[in-house]
Amino acid sequence: MSRPFRLTLIHPCIGRRPGQQYIKTWQMEPLPPALIAALTPNDVEVRFYDDRMEELPFDEPTDLVAMSIETYTARRCYQIASEYRRRGVPVVMGGFHASLIPEEVEQYAESIVIGEAEAVWQEVIDDYRAGTPKKRYQGVGRPALDGSRPDRSIFKGKRYLPIGLVEAGRGCHFRCEFCAVQTVFNRSQTRRPTGDILDELRALKGSKKLFFFVDDNITSNLKQAKEFFRALKPLGIRWVSQSSINAAHDEEFLILLKESGCQGVLIGFESLNPENLKKMDKGFNTMKGGYEVALANLRKHGIRLYVTFVFGYDEDTAASFDESVEFAQRHAFYITAFNHLTPFPGTALYSRLKDEGRLLYDAWWLDPAYSYNKIPFQPKNMGPDELQRLCVDARSRFYSRRSILKRSLDPVNRSDFFMWRNFYLINGMHRAEVSLRDHYPLGDAAWRGELLPAAR
């Protein structure tokens, strides 16, 4: 009797500093390998390794290695692929980076998957079993997500943060200039059947106290979102997700949001400057009275907020940081991110900055001189180092002990004991990591091999 086909799934880390433990807040359950495991035929022997928390067994016999590659993990993925290629094991890569810049990724993978794996994964496995793999696999259109449920058995024995990650929908209808999501999915969204999601939540409810719907924008289709929240209400779960601010102007939506168990939403405010918002195609942030009206609506319904700001657009100056920190503290946001603008390959932003001659690296994600949170482009009104320093300073002020204490006493933040107790833990973690991620290497800094290209 012949042995079963062996598949090794790997979730790559962003990078690693020699002798240091990987950043804890980056260690949530990775859904991509669990989804691939679920799509894999039952007679295939599947093993899973998480590069963030364990050594990879490069010498363990396997027939195929599969990884989901993102721009920040590209360098590490190529290192891992080179180790397996040196041992004669083929590697297939999918994920956002493979869809954004396939010409690069296929240099370091025997095969790549462009787009969503649901449409082609069975074909990938069949071809490798038969010894006739293709260089590229690309599905046509957006596949239905019926039955697309991750196989969480691969997580057994691994200690992730105690948050249940669940996908309800994939993609977003908006066209923000810097967003890789809308670039890959072409401003479209697909949703899983509500019954499938509810079944998954019921199975996890006993082991998870908080769920995170990882949707790129759970409110992209308001009508569908309302129907989902109505169905979600009887489960009595606590959950958080990501939303666009236009939803804050729909009273029925906010009522259903709260009744369904929503504890908070991440909203990309990005900038307080209307000209910046126009440049990034987020002018809708100022609709119907803008931020103040939207925030008053959200506060009325007790919705906690994780707000993100992005700095580096042409209207930003040093004063923009002071204004944003004051705004975030005045509104007592549960947590806030003060990030620099990042041009991801394949996006409209990347193309614009390249045309303007403002990119500082040919491919920042592969350049040995680049490290996490460095500025890969030339801002208009400040130097790259100043932009990076001002982002760190903004985080330092927002997560100061005084700011944490004051925001913790806000009526919305303390309206639920579970979320109030975790407020201190979450803000404490952010305080500890104000500058921890800065200059984090992309790829394992201790790796001394050479990147081996795949055969053409």
Instruction: Delineate the domains of the chain, giving CATH numbers in brackets.
Output: 6-144 (3.40.50.280), 162-432 (3.20.20.70)
d(CA 145, CA 35): 11
Alpha helix stretches (DSSP H) within 159-273: 180-185, 194-204, 222-232, 251-259
* Total-model pTM: 0.93
Report whether pLDDT(46) > 80.
Answer: yes
Consecutive H or E run containing 46: strand 45-50
Q: What angle do CA 157, 161, 164 make, to 5 degrees?
A: 90
- For residues 21 and 235, the model is more confident at 235
**pLDDT band with cut points at 50, 70 and 90 for residue 175:** confident
**pLDDT band with cut points at 50, 70 and 90 for residue 57:** very high
Percent of the chain with pLDDT over 90: 76
Query: What pLDDT was estimated at residue 65?
Result: 98
d(CA 107, CA 110): 8
Q: What angle do CA 65, 68, 74 make, to 5 degrees?
A: 100
- Minimum mean pLDDT range among 140-154, 289-303, 416-430: 140-154
Percent of the chain with pLDDT over 70: 99
Task: Assign 421 to helix, strand or coil.
Answer: helix
- For residues 442 and 455, the model is more confident at 442
Mean pLDDT within 122-150: 91
**pLDDT band with cut points at 50, 70 and 90 for residue 286:** confident
Mean pLDDT within 445-453: 92
- Minimum mean pLDDT range among 18-32, 321-335, 439-453: 18-32
Query: What pLDDT was estimated at residue 320?
Result: 97
Residue whose token pair is 């920040």 = 72
Mean pLDDT of the chain: 92
Tokens standing for residue 77:
């993925």
Report whether pLDDT(287) > 80.
Answer: no
Query: What pLDDT was estimated at residue 301?
Result: 94
Which one-letter amino acid corresponds to residue 217? Answer: N
Tokens standing for residue 3:
């042995």
Query: What pLDDT was estimated at residue 1?
Result: 42
Mean pLDDT within 98-111: 95
What is the sign, positive or negative, of the torsion defined by CA atoms of 180, 183, 187, 188?
negative
Task: Assign 40 to helix, strand or coil.
Answer: coil
CA dihedral 396, 428, 307, 326 (to 10 degrees): -40
Question: Which residues 6+ apart lie within 8 Å of 264 measured at CB?
Answer: 240, 303, 304, 305, 306, 334, 419
Query: What pLDDT was estimated at residue 297?
Result: 93
Q: Is the distance from CB of 373 to CB of 338 less than 8 angstroms?
A: no
61, 91, 66, 70: which is closest to 15 by C-alpha?
Answer: 70
Query: What pLDDT was estimated at residue 139?
Result: 80
Q: Is the distance from CB of 377 to CB of 383 less than 8 angstroms?
A: no
Mean pLDDT within 319-338: 97
Q: How far is CA 448 from CA 71, 82, 83, 441, 444, in A?
A: 21, 11, 11, 14, 9
Residue whose token pair is 């320093």 = 389
- Is residue 329 exposed (0-12), middle (13-18) or buried (19+ Cβ within 10 Å)? middle
Q: How far is CA 299 from CA 82, 242, 347, 414, 415, in A?
A: 51, 17, 34, 12, 11
Q: Is the distance from CB of 142 to CB of 190 less than 8 angstroms?
A: yes
Query: What pLDDT was estimated at residue 179?
Result: 82
Which one-letter amino acid corresponds to residue 347? Answer: T
